C-alpha cells in the first residue's frame, strides 16, 4: 500500500508503531487473550496503563507531585466549562486572551459560570497574530490562553508572565516543544492532535489552586473528585488513554520533547521558506507568530486551486484543505508527521510554480 502523507488538522497523524501496537491490543491485550476493549477498567492490567499514562505526562513536562494528571472525556471543549467551574470564584473574575475560535468558545463558557474579562484579542485582524504587551491583572482568579491556534496558524512563542494562575489550552502543540510547565497552574489538551486519538483529554493541575470557588460542586465537573478517583470516578476512555500511553512512550523512547522540537522546527522552516519564496502562495499568519504545527496559506491565484489539488492528490498528500473560516490550505505538522512528508509537499509546490507561474 502506497504511503499517504497525512497533514490532517485533527484527529491527526499517529506513529505507525503506535497504530500497530494499539491494533494488536484490540485482539490480545497484555497477554490476557482478551481485547483491551472488553476488559474491566478496574483490572490490574488497566490500572498499570492509567498509572503510567499519568506518570509520563509529568515526566515529560518535568513536574513533581504538586501536580496531578487526569484523563477525562468530553474533549477540550468540556474543559472550557470545567476550568471556570473549578477556578472562578463567586466574587472574582477570570481573564482571557482571545486568539481564535477555540478561545472564543472558552470565553463563552466562562461567562456562563461567572465574571469574565477579555484582556487582549487579535480579532481585529481576523486572529492573524498573537497579542503582545498586554498587562496581566493581579486580581483575577486566573489567566487563560490558547498556546496554538489550529484554524488561523498562530502560536505563542513566549508565554505571558503571570502572578496569577496561568491556564493553557495546549491541545494542538502539547509536547511539540519544550516549555517550563511549572509556569502553568493548569494545562489541558485534547489528545487527538499530538498525543493520541480522539476521545480523551489530558488535564494537568497544580493541586493548590483547587477548592476555592465557594460553590457546591457537581461531582462529574469537579477536578478534586476526579483526582481522588485516579481519573476513574466513572469509566474512563479506556482505548484512547492506552493509545495515548503508547504515543507518550514513543516520544520518550526517541529522545523526548527536545528531540521532537528540533524535527518540528526543521519541518516548519522547510515549509515556510517555500511559502515565502514561491510566487503562487502567501502565508496568512504574522511571520513572528507562525505556528510550527499548523501552517496556513493561500494561493495567489485562487483560480488555480483545482490544479493544485490535483497535484497534491497525485502525490498522495491528504488533509491540507484549509478551515472553512479561513479557506486556502493548512498543513498540520504534528509530532508524528515525518520530515519527508513536508519535503514532498514542498516539492509539489515547487513543481506547481514551475508549471503555472
Residues taking part in catalysis: 102, 169, 193
Q: Which of 128, 91, 122 is nearest to 104 (CA)?
A: 122
> What's CA 255's distance to the chain center, in Å?
20
Measured CA to CA, the distance from residue 326 to residue 125 in angstroms comes to 12
Using a 10 angstrom Cβ sphere, with 0-12 exposed, 13-18 middle and 19 or more buried, the burial of residue 140 is: buried
Q: Which of 134, 137, 74 is nearest to 98 (CA)?
A: 134
Measured CA to CA, the distance from residue 122 to residue 148 in angstroms comes to 13
Q: Strand runs (DSSP E) across the chain, as ranges?
A: 5-6, 67-72, 94-98, 116-121, 142-146, 148-149, 154-155, 166-169, 186-190, 201-206, 281-283, 294-299, 317-318, 329-332
| CA-CA-CA-CA torsion sign (146, 151, 152, 157) | positive
Quick check: 205 and 58 in contact, CB under 8 A? no
Amino acid at each position: 500500500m502506497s504511503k499517504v502523507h497525512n497533514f490532517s488538522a485533527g484527529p491527526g497523524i499517529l506513529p505507525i508503531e503506535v497504530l500497530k501496537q494499539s491494533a494488536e491490543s484490540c485482539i490480545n491485550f497484555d497477554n490476557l487473550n482478551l481485547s483491551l476493549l472488553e476488559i474491566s477498567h478496574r483490572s490490574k492490567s488497566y490500572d498499570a496503563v492509567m498509572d503510567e499514562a499519568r506518570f509520563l505526562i509529568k515526566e515529560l513536562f518535568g513536574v513533581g507531585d504538586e501536580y496531578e494528571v487526569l484523563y477525562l472525556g468530553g474533549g477540550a471543549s468540556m474543559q472550557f466549562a470545567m476550568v471556570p467551574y473549578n477556578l472562578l470564584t463567586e466574587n472574582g473574575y477570570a481573564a482571557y486572551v482571545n486568539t481564535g475560535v477555540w478561545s472564543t468558545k472558552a470565553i463563552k463558557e466562562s461567562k456562563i459560570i461567572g465574571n469574565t474579562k477579555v484582556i487582549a484579542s487579535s480579532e481585529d485582524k481576523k486572529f492573524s497574530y498573537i497579542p503582545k504587551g498586554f498587562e496581566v491583572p493581579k486580581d483575577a482568579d486566573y489567566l487563560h490562553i490558547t498556546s496554538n491556534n489550529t484554524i488561523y496558524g498562530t502560536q505563542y512563542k513566549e508565554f505571558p508572565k503571570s502572578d496569577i494562575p496561568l491556564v493553557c489550552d495546549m491541545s494542538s502543540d502539547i509536547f511539540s516543544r519544550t516549555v517550563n510547565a511549572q509556569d502553568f497552574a493548569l494545562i489541558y489538551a485534547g489528545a487527538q492532535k499530538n498525543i493520541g486519538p480522539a476521545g480523551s483529554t489530558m488535564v494537568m493541575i497544580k493541586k493548590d489552586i483547587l477548592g476555592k470557588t465557594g460553590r457546591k460542586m457537581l461531582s462529574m465537573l469537579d477536578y478534586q473528585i476526579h483526582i481522588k478517583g485516579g481519573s476513574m470516578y466513572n469509566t474512563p476512555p479506556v482505548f484512547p488513554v492506552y493509545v495515548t500511553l503508547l504515543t507518550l512512550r514513543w516520544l520518550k523512547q526517541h529522545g523526548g520533547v527536545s528531540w521532537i522540537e528540533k524535527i518540528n522546527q526543521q519541518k516548519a522552516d522547510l515549509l515556510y521558506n517555500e511559502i515565502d519564496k514561491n510566487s503562487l502562495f502567501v502565508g496568512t499568519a504574522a511571520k513572528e507568530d507562525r505556528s510550527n504545527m499548523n501552517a496556513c496559506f493561500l494561493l495567489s491565484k485562487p483560480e488555480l486551486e483545482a490544479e493544485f489539488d490535483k497535484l497534491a492528490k497525485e502525490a498522495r498528500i491528504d488533509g491540507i484543505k484549509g478551515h472553512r473560516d479561513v479557506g486556502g490550505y493548512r498543513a498540520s505538522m504534528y509530532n508524528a508527521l515525518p520530515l519527508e512528508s513536508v519535503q514532498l509537499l514542498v516539492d509539489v509546490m515547487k513543481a506547481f510554480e514551475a508549471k503555472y507561474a
